[in-house]
């Protein structure tokens, strides 16, 4: 088996040598784009596995330019960390020798007592653990305000950073407020309550604070203070680690792996307090890794939902954060989990959402032979890499366009509903039900800076403040379903609007104007199980609330996701088309907006591994009609929209 593995690796090197120039061009060398392989401790502790990995990466060169080694996460023993750091330093140097940059990732608070091993080595004796609002106590989840815990973090991260001198130190997504089982949220221990009282001049006990949070006391001020306090608790951890890393490795930047916590409202609106702490301590712009699940592609449409979740996270980042590495996760890293082709399609979809880098947790557990990982995952990703690089370069400075499934920034301040479970207000499923409409060709721009309109379900409308209600419905285009409209009426929205006759060509909707120019349309439901005539009607209603500026309308009956990318100027830069069905799509007719009606643009269809195809447009007024050629089932391609070169050049 070993001889066969080496033979396959040598063959891979020979087959790829001729295309190395096209895989990594000087034009993209200084861009943010990169592909990253994430590892677990065995990849530096086990020399046989380490050497197999090095061979595999050399067999498929220029696939990954960076690896994230992993610090030990099953122990608090400094001796164990020291031994691991020594092995990691050796592995890091060997990676540098083959032209691969080493970085490091590590945990902080711990994901939960049911996630890590539960080993006695993980239970702290020198500091306290997390206690949640109900009094649940974790065994191995660390309270972020314990001085002893900060001393431990300082020593551990300085150890790895000093020995390895990594490009980036990444903090895992356990640096979060919620979900540290059995604790639902952090932290209501005596230390945290005391610090909260000191910072905000209160006299709370855990019991009285929980009651005040439940009652939304002081007009929401207590909830807002507690969220800010909790965010600063996390930021203090990031600050301690960043300071210790910077002291021993001053060129090392910091990064945060964050998940889809817009549903977990106690997390706050964004992760910027952590990022800002990282930058303040190092003087270097940090990096982001958005993510959230989708561990196998057995139900492949899950990648679309995850992609839109990541798009929302990306839009909430500080604008100076440009290194944004998508989490592409294959836990438990079995051959029966993620398929090689599915992995490639998933990667492309996340790029269309706005990430600038791709990070792969696909071999971490080493559950399969390295031969399998290399021959399947590495080989396929190497083939697709030029396709990714070109897309990332072409679409810099743009973001997804379409309708924003809007969630108000003050959603966490909504009042409790009758009969609602304790702390039910801390989570939201607002607009989750609308995401399947994307499979009908309705483009979405979650939290977008330039959405064509908004759409909201009942929970999203319920979470708006009174001032948000007035501003949005007076001035914006909004699409609601009947339950959302009922909530809006209860809140007086009908007094801001005037019903109008149904615009020509639309059916099964009620439409409104506001004196200030806003448009609202109400449809019976957001059910995505529709015949094609109703699908087209839905798209035309969405176009009406978009003031006839919906960036793309898929006119062909198809199960496909469209992702327009919009430049800051408002011009359409590209459109990604994902066939999210088993069958091939013979031809797809797309109507584009935001193009140059004077015919000064060229439209180029691109698919991985195939020659570019120039598509001849048809013009209907300011609209451009394109007919996209056959796209196989669960495949993806994109249209590049570029200026024509002047004749004679």
DSSP one-letter string for 297-346: SSSTTHHHHHHHHHHHHHHTS-TT---BEEEEE-TT--TTTS-HHHHHHH
**pLDDT at position 21 over 60:** no
Q: Which CATH superfamily is domain 552-648 in?
A: Mu homology domain, subdomain B (2.60.40.1170)
* pLDDT confidence band for 16 (50 / 70 / 90): very low
Q: Average pLDDT in the 466-485 region?
A: 97
Could you give the CA distance from residue 427 to residue 421 in angstroms, rounded to a whole number?
A: 11
Range of weakest confidence among 118-122, 357-361, 487-491: 118-122
Could you give the CA distance from residue 385 to residue 343 in angstroms, rounded to a whole number?
A: 12
**What is the pTM assigned to this prediction?**
0.94
Could you give the CA distance from residue 336 to residue 342 in angstroms, rounded to a whole number?
A: 12
Could you give the CA distance from residue 362 to residue 377 in angstroms, rounded to a whole number?
A: 8
Q: How much is the pLDDT for 28?
A: 35
> For the segment 563-597, what is each residue's pLDDT rounded down to a tens digit?
999 999 999 999 999 999 999 999 999 999 999 87
DSSP-derived secondary structure for 178-202: EEETTEEES--SHHHHHHHHHHHT-
The structural domains of the chain, with segments of one domain joined by +, span: 34-397, 401-548, 552-648
**pLDDT at position 614 over 60:** yes
> For the segment 115-152, what is each residue's pLDDT rounded down to a tens digit?
766 678 899 999 999 999 999 999 999 999 999 999 99
Return the closest-CA partner of residue 522 out of 470, 468, 479: 479
Q: How much is the pLDDT for 22?
A: 31
Q: How much is the pLDDT for 14?
A: 41
Q: How much is the pLDDT for 9?
A: 45
CA 308 to chain centre: 7
Q: What's the CATH class of domain 34-397?
A: alpha beta
**pLDDT at position 63 over 80:** yes
Q: How much is the pLDDT for 119?
A: 79
**pLDDT at position 31 over 90:** no
């Amino acid at each position: 088996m070993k001889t066969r593995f080496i033979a396959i690796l040598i063959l891979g090197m020979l087959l790829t040598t001729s295309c190395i120039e096209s895989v990594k061009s000087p034009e993209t060398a200084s861009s943010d784009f990169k592909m990253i392989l994430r590892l677990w401790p065995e990849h530096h502790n086990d020399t046989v596995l380490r050497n197999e990995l090095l061979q595999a990466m050399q067999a498929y060169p220029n696939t990954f330019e960076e690896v994230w080694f992993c610090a030990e996460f099953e122990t608090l023993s400094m001796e164990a960390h020291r031994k691991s750091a020594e092995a990691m330093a050796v592995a890091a140097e060997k990676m540098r020798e083959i032209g691969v940059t080493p970085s490091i990732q590590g945990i902080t608070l711990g994901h939960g007592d049911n996630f890590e091993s539960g080993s006695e080595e993980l239970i702290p004796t020198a500091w306290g653990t997390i206690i949640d609002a109900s009094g649940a106590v974790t065994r191995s989840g660390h309270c972020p305000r314990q001085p002893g815990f900060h001393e431990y973090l300082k020593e551990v991260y300085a150890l790895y950073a000093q020995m390895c001198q990594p490009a980036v130190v990444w903090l895992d997504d356990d640096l979060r407020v919620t979900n540290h089982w059995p604790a639902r949220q952090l932290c209501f221990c005596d230390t945290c309550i005391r610090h909260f009282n000191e910072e905000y001049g209160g006299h709370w006990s855990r019991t009285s604070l929980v009651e005040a949070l439940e009652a939304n006391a002081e007009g929401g001020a207590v909830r807002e203070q507690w969220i800010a306090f909790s965010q600063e608790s996390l930021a203090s951890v990031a600050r301690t680690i960043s300071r210790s890393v910077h002291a021993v490795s001053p060129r090392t930047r910091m990064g945060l792996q964050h998940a889809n916590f817009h549903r977990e409202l106690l997390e706050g609106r964004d992760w910027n307090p952590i990022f800002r702490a990282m930058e303040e301590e190092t003087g270097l712009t940090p990096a982001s890794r958005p993510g959230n699940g989708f561990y196998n592609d057995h139900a492949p449409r899950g990648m679309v939902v995850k992609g839109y979740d990541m798009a929302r996270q990306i839009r909430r980042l500080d604008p100076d954060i440009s290194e944004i590495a998508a989490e592409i996760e294959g836990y438990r890293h079995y051959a029966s989990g993620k398929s090689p082709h599915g992995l490639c399609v998933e990667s492309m979809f996340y790029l269309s959402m706005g990430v600038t880098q791709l990070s792969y947790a696909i071999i971490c557990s080493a559950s399969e032979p390295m031969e399998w990982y290399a021959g399947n995952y590495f080989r396929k990703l190497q083939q697709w890499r030029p396709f990714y690089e070109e897309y990332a370069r072409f679409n810099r400075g743009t973001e997804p366009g379409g309708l924003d499934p809007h969630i108000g920034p003050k959603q966490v301040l909504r009042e409790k509903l009758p009969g609602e479970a304790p702390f039910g207000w801390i989570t939201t499923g607002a607009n989750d039900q609308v995401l399947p409409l994307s499979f009908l060709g309705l483009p979405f721009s979650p939290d977008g800076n330039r959405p064509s309109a908004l759409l909201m379900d009942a929970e999203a409308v319920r979470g708006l403040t009174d001032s948000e209600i007035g501003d949005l419905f007076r001035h914006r285009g909004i699409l609601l379903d009947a339950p959302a409209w009922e909530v809006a009426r209860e809140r007086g929205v009908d007094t801001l609007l005037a019903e109008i006759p149904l615009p020509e060509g639309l059916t099964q909707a009620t439409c409104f104007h506001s004196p200030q120019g806003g448009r609202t349309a109400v449809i019976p439901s957001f059910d995505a199980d529709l015949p094609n005539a109703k699908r087209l009607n839905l798209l035309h209603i969405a176009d009406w609330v978009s003031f006839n500026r919906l960036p793309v309308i898929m006119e062909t009956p198809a199960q496909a996701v469209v992702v327009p990318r919009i430049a800051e100027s408002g011009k359409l830069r590209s459109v990604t088309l994902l066939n999210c069905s088993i069958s091939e799509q013979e031809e797809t007719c797309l109507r584009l907006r935001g193009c140059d009606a004077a015919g000064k643009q060229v439209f180029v269809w691109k698919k991985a591994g195939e020659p570019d195809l120039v598509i001849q447009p048809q013009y209907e007024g300011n609209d451009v009609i394109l007919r996209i050629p056959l796209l196989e089932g669960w495949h993806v391609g994109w249209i590049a929209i570029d200026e024509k070169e002047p004749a004679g050049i």
